[in-house]
Amino acid sequence: MSECALAGLGLRREMLNEFCLAVPQEIDFFEVAPENWMPLGGKLGRQFRQLTEKHRFFCHGLSLSIGGPNELDVDFVKQVKSFLDWHGIEIYSEHLSYCSGKGHMYDLMPIPFTSDAVTHVAKRVRQVQDILERPLILENVSFYAAPGAEMSELQFVTSVLDEADCGLLLDVNNIYVNSVNHGYDPRAFLAAMPTERIRYLHIAGHHVEAEDLIVDTHGAAIVDPVWQLLDDCYRIHGVHPTLLERDFNIPATEVLLAELQQIHSAQQKALQLKDAS
* pLDDT, tens digit, 9 for 90 and up, residues 177-218: 999 988 999 999 999 999 999 999 999 887 666 677 687 776
Q: What is the pLDDT of residue 220?
A: 76
Name 27's Cβ contacts closer than 8 Å, sequence gap at least 6: 7, 8, 9, 19, 55, 257, 260
Alpha carbon distances (Å) from 148 to 6, 15, 20, 78, 145? 39, 42, 48, 32, 10
Residue 104's pLDDT band (cuts 50, 70, 90): very low
* Whether the Cβ atoms of residue 9 and residue 261 lie closer than 8 Å to each other: no
- Runs of H (alpha helix) within 14-151: 16-21, 34-37, 42-54, 74-87, 115-132
Give the type of residue at 85: D
Alpha carbon distances (Å) from 36 to 50, 167, 200? 17, 23, 21
Q: What is the pLDDT of residue 44?
A: 96
pLDDT tens per residue across span 137-173: 999 998 877 777 899 999 999 999 999 999 999 999 9
- 148 vs 136 pLDDT, higher one: 136
* pLDDT mean over 249-260: 94
Rounded to two decimals, what is the model's pTM?
0.93
* pLDDT mean over 226-235: 98
Q: What is the pLDDT of residue 107?
A: 55
Q: What is the pLDDT of residue 247?
A: 81
Q: What is the pLDDT of residue 249?
A: 78
Ranges assigned E (strand) in 156-220:
167-171, 198-204, 207-210, 213-215
E strand or H helix that includes residue 9 = strand 7-10
Lowest model confidence (mean pLDDT) among 3-7, 85-89, 164-168 = 3-7
Name 70's Cβ contacts closer than 8 Å, sequence gap at least 6: 100, 101, 102
Q: What is the pLDDT of residue 98?
A: 78
